[in-house]
Structure 1
Amino acid sequence: MLPTVRSLSLLVVFLLVVSLVFASESDHKYQPDDPVTLWVNKVGPYNNPQETYNYYSLPFCQTGSNAAHKWGGLGEVIGGNELIDSQIEIKFQKNVDKASICELELDAAKVKQFKDAIENTYWFEFFMDDLPLWGFVGDLHPDKNNDNKHVLYTHKNIIVKYNGDQIIHVNLTQDNPKPLEVGKTVDMTYSVRWIQTNVTFARRFDIYLDYPFFEHQIHWFSIFNSFMMVIFLTGLVSMILMRTLRNDYAKYAREDDDLETLERDVSEESGWKLVHGDVFRPPLNLVLLSALVGTGAQLAMLVLLVILLAIIGMLYVGRGAIITTFIVCYALTSFISGYVTGGLYSRSGGKNWIKSMILTASLFPFMCFGIGFILNTIAIFYGSLAAIPFGTIMVVFVIWAFISFPLALLGTVVGRNWSGAPNNPCRVKTIPRPIPEKKWYLRPSVVSLMGGLLPFGSIFIEMYFVFTSFWNYKVYYVYGFMLLVFLILIIVTVCVTIVGTYFLLNAENYHWQWTSFFSAASTAVYVYLYSIYYYYVKTKMSGFFQTSFYFGYTLMFCLGLGILCGAVGYLGSTLFVRRIYRNIKCD
């Protein structure tokens, strides 16, 4: 009975995932006089993008108590959307000069709510045919001596452009402002005007894309600047490999040296060659390092996959499509983290592979869950739409438990059996070699902190565009730029970590594993420091709610970035270390 239930659960989850990613939208085609639904979504302070509430949390009049809700998928709910049918009568190609939505009676409580909303610059969001409309609740009267300086917009003018039987563009303007006075009754009205256009349906989302901002000359210059950094660093690494190491290899390759020359060469040995008996010694906290490297490898593949899907499928068009794709792809790529972790842990002599597997499968999800739990508690306390419903949390948990966790387990088993055999070029000596004192700039902590500067410099400009799109209502669509920057980040991170590892080994310090990881992961530290600057200089966010969400989400992002970069740096350094010790006489 138990296998049957488990199989049924897996089938349900699989169908759910497939429906989230590949579910077909309606054809968006209408006949004349067909009803067109106007969905109300959310309302909140304009300067605080995450502080959003249900549209009817403000005392707008509802035309009915049985209004339909539209659930657009996992990503839409996590993104804080709740679409409710406004029940405003709109028909395709039928103009409405002026019609009443309802009569709103203003009592003291309603006036106070509207005044607070206006003082905090509340905006709202509607959707029609999956196209967004925005507007402000009201405004402040320019005459400061006027007692009734708060005015509420009471008329909504909806302009709809269509091409044939499809809606191409929607726009909302508001007028007829009325002062907020207790005891007054205001008539909330709307009008609809339909205009024909030649714009095709495929291009209807272009109007929401800010081409001058994202395709500015500085964006192209940043790509060129990062590319030049890549050339410099790869040249530096090549010089180390081709010049410095070539001389060392030549000395070890001489077979006809006399005894005097050999003794002189041995006495002159220094740097990385002296630690060949310790360089492959298993690092401290091997379980944690293996889990971090495996998770980072998965995140690197995940980011690459999501960027490619965003380029091919224009995921920015759909509400929450990026979030849904990220969650599903994370679950499906869990095999990678298990494979990398299992192979690394087994090659380093680890025995407790089950502990390693469990830590790998749960490390990043539980870190995100911990941060998300705190933010969700804050959102629930404020009554915000940013609070993720319990049902959605359970869906995410089921995806992790029945897809991600089993794939991580399978990957660990395959990694142990296929790539877990120890194959180090040099044997590890029984007694660890003492590490001599070196200058301050060769200490692992300094090397780790300095290692993140150049990778951060390669993505600095792109971080500005990403932050601006996420926190300032811009649609990020230049995923081609993001792909180039991501590849540059990988190359720069590998090169910088290799150089740092080489300097560390030359200082006769063989604890390179954690240093190489932290050297690359420190990139996230500089991104987080930049986020603090961005918050105080580039935004007008305020309040405990928005501040906690800003720094909470940024922390979640930086943790993922740090693990990703750390894994890339470690794997690059591993290849480098194995390469330089492969051709020397370790015995």
Structure 2
Amino acid sequence: MAVFLQLLLLFGSTVEAFYIPGWSIRSYADNEQIPLLVNKVYSDNTQLQFAYFDLPFVCPPTGQRRYGGLLSGQNIPLNIGEVLRGDRISASDIDITMGHNNECSYLCTRQISRKELKIARDMVRDGYVVEWIVDNLPGATSFVTVDKTRKYYAAGFKLGFTDTSSGRPRYYLNNHHTIVLRYRKAAGRAGEQGKKVIVGFEVYSKSIGLDNKRLESGCPLSLHDVDQNFQLYLAPNHTDAKDPERYAHSSYQPNAADEVIDENDGAMLSIPYTYSVYFQEDDTIDWSRRWDLYFVNQEEGSKIHWLAIINSLIICGLLTGIVLMIFAKTIRSDIRGYKDAAAEEGKARLKRRARKAVVAAGSSISAGSVGPGIGNATPTTSEKMHASSVGVGTGGGLLDQEAGSVEMSALDADILTSEDEAIEDVTGWKLLHGDVFRKPKFGSLLAPLVGSGMQLLFMSFSLVLLSAVGVLNPSYRGGFISFGVGLFVFAGLFSGYFSARVYRTFDGLNWRRNMFVTAVLFPGLLFSAVFVLNLFVWAQASSTAIPFGTLIAILMLWLCIQMPLVYVGSWYGYVRIGAWVHPTKTTAVPRQIPRQAWYIRDIRSVLLAGLIPFAVIFIELLFVFQSLWQDKSGYYYVFGYLAVVSVILVLTIAEVTVVTIYIRLCSENYNWWWQSFIVGGSSAIWVFLYCIWFYFAKLHITGFVSSLLFFSHSFIACCVYALLTGTVGFLSTYTFMRRIYGAIKAD
């Protein structure tokens, strides 16, 4: 345990020094243009994202040539991970030149109708945040800690804000953006040539109303003294549906609910957009550490992460002690007792065989002396000696023979009684050696599930490992999802191999059919669920929707790459390797299973067993949920802690499943194949219940589609988790079974 803790500390320190390395350095010379890319808008209150240039109230691209031959509005090529996470990156018209400060530049004036105004108001009300990108850094809002000792970034900047001071909410749009780029001298030869690297990208947005004085260029006369913010408001064309002229000459204004507005009346609202650019030299930030500011505010949670690890280690340590006690004392003593009983039974059988041989010999001699006894003939001396040695009298004839037979019967009864007592010592799991490896019902379904679980297990642990060592990080945008898709497709080899071996172990005959089910069952259900959800998102015109071309690409990856890999793995596992050989033979007639105790019945044992692995991960699960659902502008980066917790989770699931199945075996219940898989994945039930609690207690998601996306994605994630952990429970239990019943056979 001490060695394990030392390795744990070493791994944690390595991850902390590694967690966000640089991806590729880009240096800029003075007067060189720097492209500003616009991406999307997103909100913590909804699951729907939108491409920035798809918004009807922002400046549309002009198509002018920008840096590197890009045209404004031109889409940047994206990897599959960026597309799946909703990114839609395009070049903008904002002009940024290295080293040139720009106090104000006019961008455009956008005319919007009442319908487009309503969209803008709704998005400001929902708290949407804008993401711009410069040199692969997302534009950030700068904050300072309460003690003013540290500065940190929150990715993105507000689209607008809501003012409720007057009682009724008023919505304001931020139409001026101040861009601050922090830079330092580049290292090496590029620095000697006077080039610089960008180490920070900050955006400060401001709302400037139409009543503020403006220059001929369209810029405000003063950016510091703003008299009025830009309100998203157009005077209604009607005040009351029943009497439009009722309040025409009155100071009273009706509520918004009473207003009847014609969205096609032709009224337009003009929105002027301007921006400023400033460069600030900052030698305190290294280029390789420029992402640190995005995580400074999250470093306070490191103590909680260690608390989660300590909590997990305590639970896992207790379970390990229980398992070791079962192995070292209970099972070992049971096996020793079984061996002793078997030895006594063997001795009793030898004695009984020897005694029967003696009785048979005595009976033949007695039968030969019956005639002389009746005829008063006198036996010879040798006959007397032999008769006395077997306990048969020489002068009694038939009476002496009957006495000897009675004596032999009593002796045989004593032998049988001792044998029965030895057999009575063999109870519990030892009685099931002829039934424990009996193939389960619906084994043709269990085999593909185990194969899919191994596929997910390989993908998940590879992703966590690559993220922990820093290969996958936020600077590689979309890399986590892209690698996940690639690893999942490649892991079709493992899926086919393990599914085929389990299938053949269950005496399956049609391995090609099993291969097809393995390749289609889980990926097919997953693809179908994503496609159906995509229809709802398509209807909202959200960038969260997966484009049709990407769906076709994913379909081709599945059918043209993964399925052949599953075929290869299945052929190798079924034909070349074959089934696992059980240590004991299965009897023809199954045993009758006695009535089970209440705490080991299916539903109760599943819920109780699943609670322990959930207790191992629920603290770290909170950070994951906050990153995914509550704070989409942040990045989950503590993969080192997650890797340690994942290893502890796997050990805990294996131990919980082994203990649960061992208790069932002691109750003479040999139906463990499906039970081990279900118990291993049972903590997914608690995780889904935790998702429901998190939705109502922590989130403020509104709208049917957003709620549907949350619960659907949560359910899919829990199914993936159940497959993964269920496979861990199944394989660990099978290993346990081979170990204990193999020890019995070895005797």
Show the counterpart of 2:694: 534
Q: Note if 1:130 corresponds to 2:136.
A: yes
Alignment correspondent of 1:170: 201
Q: Take 1:512 and 1:539, find their aligned partners in 2: how far apart are those partners?
A: 40
**1:89 match:** 95
In the superposition, relative to structure 1, how do residues 226 and 388 fare at CA in structure 2: closer, same or farther (>3 Å)? same
Q: Are 2:272 and 1:187 aligned?
A: yes
Q: Shift of the alpha carbon at 1:267?
A: 2.4
Residues 1:60 and 2:58 are matched in the alignment: yes
Q: CA deviation at 1:286?
A: 1.0
CA shift in 2, pair 1:282/1:68, >3 Å: same
Q: Which residue of 1 aligns with 2:734?
A: 574
Distance (Å, rounded) in 2 between the aligned partners of 1:293 and 1:169: 47
Alignment partners' CA distance in 2, 1:173 and 1:398:
44
Asked whether the 8 Å contact 2:40–2:88 carries over to 1, the reply is: yes
Structure 1 partner of 2:663: 503
- Superposition map of 1:242-391 within 5 A: 242-254=328-340, 255-256=343-344, 257-258=347-348, 259=415, 260-312=417-469, 313-391=471-549
Structure 1 residues 214 and 362: CA distance shift in structure 2, 3 A: farther
**Preserved CA contact (<8 Å) 1:214 1:465:** no
Mean alpha-carbon deviation: is it higher for 117-126 or for 538-547? 117-126
* Identity %, equivalent residues: 32
Match of 1:233 in 2: 319
Q: 2:198, 2:745 → 1: CA distance? A: 73
Correspondence for 1:115 among 111, 116, 121: 121
Is the deviation greater in 522-531 or in 98-107?
98-107
Task: Give the 3-state SS of the residue equivalent to 1:499 in structure 2.
Answer: helix
Is the deviation greater in 99-108 or in 346-355?
A: 99-108
> CA-to-partner distance for each residue in 1:408-450, whole Å, 9 max, x for gaps?
1111111113442451111111112111112222223322222
Normalized against structure 2, the TM-score is what? 0.72
Please tell me whether residue 157 in structure 1 is matched to residue 178 in structure 2: yes
TM-score of the aligned structures, taking structure 1 as reference length: 0.91
Amino acid across the alignment from 2:315:
M
1:553 aligns with 2:551: no
Which residue, out of 573, 589, 592, partners 1:434? Answer: 592
Greater shift, 258-267 or 385-394, is seen at 258-267
Question: 1: CA distance between counterparts of 2:233 and 2:699?
Answer: 33
Letter in 1 for 2:30: P
3-state DSSP of counterpart to 2:39? strand
Match of 2:624 in 1: 466
CA deviations on 1:363-403 (whole Å, 9 max, x unpaired) are 22122212211210111011110110111112212222232
Aligned length: 563
Which whole-Å CA distance do the structure 1 matches of 2:54 and 2:73 have between them? 12
Distance in 2 (CA, whole Å) between partners of 1:167 and 1:318 is 17
Match of 2:654 among 494, 503, 518: 494
Q: CA 1:428–1:39 in structure 2 vs 1: closer, same or farther (change >3 Å)?
A: same
CA contact (8 A) 2:31 2:99 kept: yes
Report how far residue 180 of structure 1 moved: 3.1
1:77 corresponding residue in structure 2: 83
Partner of 1:401: 559
8 Å Cα contact 1:444/1:504 also seen in 2: no
Please name the residue that 1:425 is paired with: 583
Q: Which moved more, 1:204-213 or 1:481-490?
A: 204-213
Distance 1:498 1:574, change over 3 A: same
> Cα offset for 1:457?
0.8
Greater Rg by CA: 2
Q: Which amino acid aligns with 1:59?
A: F
**Structure 1: how far apart are the matches of 2:109 and 2:485?**
44
1:564 aligns with 2:724: yes
Give the 3 Å change call, closer, same or farther, for CA 503–194 of structure 1 in structure 2.
same
Which residue of 289, 297, 305 corresponds with 1:219? 305
Decide which moves more: 73-82 or 50-59.
50-59
Q: Work out the CA distance in 2 between the residues paired with 1:578 and 1:26.
A: 51
State the Cα distance separating 1:153 from its structure 2 match.
Answer: 1.7
Does the C-alpha gap of structure 1 residues 214 and 383 become closer, same or farther in structure 2, counting only changes over 3 Å? farther
Distance apart, 1:54 and its partner CA: 4.2
Which deviates further from its counterpart, 459-468 or 352-361? 352-361
Unaligned ranges ≥5, structure 2: 1-21, 64-71, 140-155, 186-195, 209-228, 235-267, 349-414
8 A contact 1:45–1:52 mirrored in 2: no
SS at match of 2:700: coil
Per the TM alignment, residue 535 of structure 1 is displaced from its structure 2 partner at its CA by 0.7
Instruction: Report the Cα offset of residue 458 of structure 1.
Output: 0.6
Name the SS for the 2:174 alignment partner. strand
Q: Distance in 2 between matches of 1:99 and 1:249?
A: 85
The question of whether the paired residues in 2 share the 8 Å contact of 1:71 and 1:82 is answered with no
CA distance in 1, matches of 2:108, 2:298: 41
Question: Measured at CA, do residues 85 and 244 of structure 1 come closer, stay the same or move farther in structure 2, by a change above 3 Å?
Answer: same
Which range moved further: 89-98 or 107-116? Answer: 107-116
1:206 aligns with 2:292: yes
Match of 2:3 in 1: none
What letter corresponds to residue 119 of structure 2 in structure 1? Q
Contact 1:44–1:53 (8 Å) recurs in 2 = no
For 1:224 and 1:411, locate their aligned partners in 2 and report how far apart those are by CA, in whole Å: 39
Relative distance call for 1:439 and 1:146 in structure 2 (3 A) is closer
Amino acid at match of 1:345: Y
Gaps of 5+ in 1: 1-23
Structure 2 residue aligned with 1:512:
672
The aligned runs of 1:10-29 (5 Å cut-off) are: 27-29=25-27
- The 1:442–1:186 alpha-carbon spacing in structure 2 relative to 1, beyond 3 Å, is closer
CA RMSD of aligned residues (A): 2.1
